[in-house]
Chain A
Amino acid sequence: MLDVEDLSVSYGAVQALQGVTFQAREGTVTAVLGANGAGKTTLLRTVSGLVKRQSGNVSYGGVELTGLSVENIVRLGISHVPEGRGVIEELTIDENLRLGTLWQFGRQERRSVLDEIYELFPQLAQRKRRMASTLSGGERQMLAIGRALSSKPKLLLLDEPSLGLAPLVTAQIMALIQELARETRLTVVLVEQNVRSALSIAEEAVVINLGRVVIADTAASVAADTELRHLYLGF
């Protein structure tokens, strides 16, 4: 379980997060929603150690994350697909995928893990040796997610996976996320602007506005709250 407690983060004078508290349970999808600039990306970046907190606590499975380096947080089984995907264009598709496996697997195991990823994303399998820069937006998203999965994480942090994707591709990716959570007990924290899609696959939802949690409840009750939706989610 990911446990965020009273977390505050600031960039100089900008207070990006203030007193944020929520949990993400094992094997569930928790949607993090909110307008542009709400602080969603900051939240994920703080969990994975890229941004230092001002106060509060973040722990995963009882292990305190604050103070750990990014590299060590990854080694606890936490995988972060950053906003804009973070595909490394100067590397091939295979190299991108392999990179996520280097810190833990031996040669043999690495091969079988990568084979699993290629099975999940056959489009990628056909172009292993091509540069990642040749991929379309949707294929890049698959590569980014596949690469995050290649380390066999227990917690997956996704920052706007649907950004710039056609509705059909978005639906495919959402279905995949839901399936992963259900079948492999993966815990997912899903930051999304695409509120409907996110709520349709999430069990829990956290709505953030100007760095504060407006509500943290089941996805169903957030979706049912018309006033909340109008105020903060724009539909």
Chain B
Amino acid sequence: MSLFINLTLNGITNGMIFAAVALGLVFIWRATHIVNFSQGSMAMFTTYIAVTLLDRHINYWLVFAAALVAGLVMGGVIEVVLIRPLRGKHALNPVIVTLGLFILLEGLAGSIFGVGNRSFPPAFSQAGLTFGHSTIAFSHFDLFILAAVVILMLGTLVLFRATNMGLRMRAAAFAPEVARLLGVRVGRILTLGWALAAVAGSLAGLLVAPTVSFSPNFMDLILVYAFTAAVVGGLDSPVGALVGGLVTGLSLSYVGGYLGSSLEPLGALAILMVVLSARPEGIFSRPAPRRV
């Protein structure tokens, strides 16, 4: 029983991280209909920026904020410099560019920051909380992960639902041409989509890094799981990203705990296969809109 509880807690924590990365994928998919294979390496890069700043003894939370801002800038610049020039060309071109970027960023990180393993100090204690005599697999730091991702999700929800910028973003995603005819500067909205995606990714990077001994490829497997989560959620729904993240996190945690951790990637593949064959548009995606 306690194994089950611990696996569940572990699954929820991991799921929240997958959800944050998946949210980044959703932002970019909604804005530009591109699957961003560099989502993980962008996050890795800002995490390295953060750890470099920490080496210089700069305040932890200042560094945290700086990494998020670095993500914002990086996402925006990548959209403007690499993705925008490809607009209107074959849909596969930008996806290939994101693959190239994935390789470039990992290579670059290796040569700038070194390929050796690094460690990242956690913001809060990583010791499991104790209740009476028993210790559970859930720490103050896990609580922080939960809170951070919940804030990210709520922020996204408020942005999309309650602000004029969110209205512009939704319009640009659903009907870019009509949005332009109504004066929405769609190009800027797409840049913003990439920038926000990179912020979500950066946050995930900062939350993962303290839990692992990391090197430039530390986000690779997480991107695969986040992609699974995003597909489960339907790629275009922020709520879907959250639920998809939790479903993926929990499933993989159970698979790893009961069947062996080497089977986790296979578990992700199984989830992808089941979702793609049963409900290819994802669980939370809108049904194909009726065009009149």
**Which residues of A are at the interface with B, using a C-beta cutoff of 8 A?**
48, 50, 70-71, 74-75, 79-80, 82, 84-91, 95, 98-100, 102-104, 133, 137, 140, 147, 151
Whether B178 contacts A86 by the Cβ 8 Å rule is yes
Chain B residues within an 8 Å CB radius of A147: 182
How close is A75's CB to chain B, nearest CB, in angstroms?
6
Whether A82 contacts B177 by the Cβ 8 Å rule is yes
Residue of A nearest to B183 (CB): A103
Whether A82 contacts B181 by the Cβ 8 Å rule is yes
The size class of the interface chain B forms with chain A is: 20 to 34
- Asked if B4 is at the interface (CB within 8 A of a chain A CB), the reply is no
Whether A75 contacts B183 by the Cβ 8 Å rule is yes
A86-B175, A88-B175, A88-B178 in contact; A102/B168 too (CB < 8 A)? Answer: yes
- Can you pick out 24 interface pairs between chain A and chain B where the beta carbons lie within 8 Å of each other? A50-B177, A71-B183, A71-B186, A82-B178, A84-B292, A86-B178, A88-B178, A91-B167, A91-B170, A91-B171, A95-B171, A99-B167, A99-B179, A99-B182, A100-B183, A102-B164, A102-B168, A102-B182, A103-B182, A103-B183, A104-B183, A133-B290, A140-B292, A151-B182
Whether B171 contacts A99 by the Cβ 8 Å rule is yes
Chain B residues within an 8 Å CB radius of A82: 177-178, 181
Q: Is the interface of A mostly helix, strand, loop or mixed?
A: loop
Chain B residues within an 8 Å CB radius of A95: 167, 170-171
Interchain pairs with CB closer than 8 A, number = 76
Residue of B nearest to A150 (CB): B182
Task: Annotate B243-270 by CB proximity to A: 1 below 8 A, 0 otherwise.
Answer: 0000000000000000000000000000
Interface members, chain B 268-292 (any A CB < 8 Å): 286, 289-292
Whether B177 contacts A71 by the Cβ 8 Å rule is no
- Asked if B180 is at the interface (CB within 8 A of a chain A CB), the reply is yes
How close is B182's CB to chain A, nearest CB, in angstroms?
5
**Which residues of B are at the interface with A, using a C-beta cutoff of 8 A?**
164, 167-168, 170-171, 174-175, 177-186, 286, 289-292
Chain B residues within an 8 Å CB radius of A85: 292
Chain B residues within an 8 Å CB radius of A89: 174, 289-290, 292
Whether A91 contacts B174 by the Cβ 8 Å rule is yes
Q: CA–CA, A102 to B175, complex, Å?
A: 16
Q: Is the interface of B mostly helix, strand, loop or mixed?
A: helix
Q: CA–CA, A147 to B175, complex, Å?
A: 15
Whether A90 contacts B182 by the Cβ 8 Å rule is no
Q: CA–CA, A85 to B291, complex, Å?
A: 10
Q: CA–CA, A95 to B169, complex, Å?
A: 12
How close is B237's CB to chain A, nearest CB, in angstroms?
11
Starting from the known contacts A90-B170, A99-B167, A102-B184, 12 additional A-B residue pairs (CB-CB under 8 Å) come to A71-B180, A71-B184, A79-B181, A84-B292, A86-B175, A86-B177, A88-B178, A88-B179, A90-B174, A91-B167, A95-B170, A99-B184
The interface centre, meaning the residue of A75, A86, A137, A140 with most chain B CB atoms within 10 A of its CB, is A86
How close is B274's CB to chain A, nearest CB, in angstroms?
27
Chain A residues within an 8 Å CB radius of B170: 90-91, 95
Chain B residues within an 8 Å CB radius of A79: 181
Whether B183 contacts A151 by the Cβ 8 Å rule is yes
Residue of B nearest to A90 (CB): B174
Chain B residues within an 8 Å CB radius of A137: 292
Chain B residues within an 8 Å CB radius of A100: 182-183
Chain A residues within an 8 Å CB radius of B174: 88-91
Residue of A nearest to B188 (CB): A71
Q: CA–CA, A15 to B42, complex, Å?
A: 45
Q: CA–CA, A102 to B184, complex, Å?
A: 8
How close is A226's CB to chain B, nearest CB, in angstroms?
36
The interface centre, meaning the residue of A88, A104, A133, A147 with most chain B CB atoms within 10 A of its CB, is A88
Whether A48 contacts B181 by the Cβ 8 Å rule is yes
Chain A residues within an 8 Å CB radius of B171: 88, 91, 95, 99
Chain B residues within an 8 Å CB radius of A88: 171, 174-175, 178-179
Which 3 pairs of residues, A with B, have the shortest CB-CB distance? Answer: A103-B183, A86-B178, A74-B183
